[in-house]
Amino acid sequence: MTDDDALIRDIRAREGKYADDGDVPAATLYERVGGGAFFDQLVTAFYAGVVADPALRPLYPDDDIDGARQRLRDFLAQYWGGPTTYSDERGHPRLRMRHAPFVIAELERDRWLTHMRAAVDALAPDPADRDELLAYFEMAADAMRNATRPSA
C-alpha cells in the first residue's frame, strides 16, 4: 500500500466511507453507475423527452439546449460524488433561485419527473441505485415547485 493509499484510507476511515469489510472504500453512486458516461446518457435521454414535451419545451432556452444539458449533467454528476465541475464553473447551485424565473407547478413537476424516470429506466442501473436516484429526483422536483394552478 502506497503512502497515498494509506492517506486515502485514513481520510475515508475518518469520513466513515468504508464498506463493511473495512478494507474497500464505499463507492459513491457516481462510481457505482459508471461515472460520467452514465450522466451523459441520462441527461441526453431526459432532454430528448423535454424537447418533445409541449408543457416543458417553452421553458428552455431555444438557442442553448446543449448548454442546459451540460449544466444539468455536471450538477448531477457532482451531486452523486463526481467532479466539482458544476460549482467550479457556476458557483453554489442555489437551485430554487435559478428556477424562480420559470413557472413550475404540479404539471411541470410531474412532466419533469416523467422524463427523468424514463431516462433512469432506459439506463437500468442497479435497483438500489435506481431507488436512490428516483427518491432524490422526486424530492428535488417537488422542491422546485414555485406555483400552483387552481384545479379546473
- Residues near ligand HEM (CB under 6 A) are 56, 59-61, 64, 68, 71-72, 75, 90, 95, 98-99, 102, 104, 108-109, 112, 137, 140-141, 144
Rounded-to-integer distance, Cα 39 and Cα 46, Å: 10
- Name the residue with cell 416523467: 114
Shortest Å, Cβ 150 to ligand HEM: 19
Rounded-to-integer distance, Cα 63 and Cα 60, Å: 9
Shortest Å, Cβ 61 to ligand HEM: 5
Shortest Å, Cβ 95 to ligand HEM: 6
- Phi and psi for 73 in degrees, rounded to 5? -60, -50
- Between residues 5 and 89, which has the closer beta carbon with respect to ligand HEM? 89
Strand partners, 18: 25
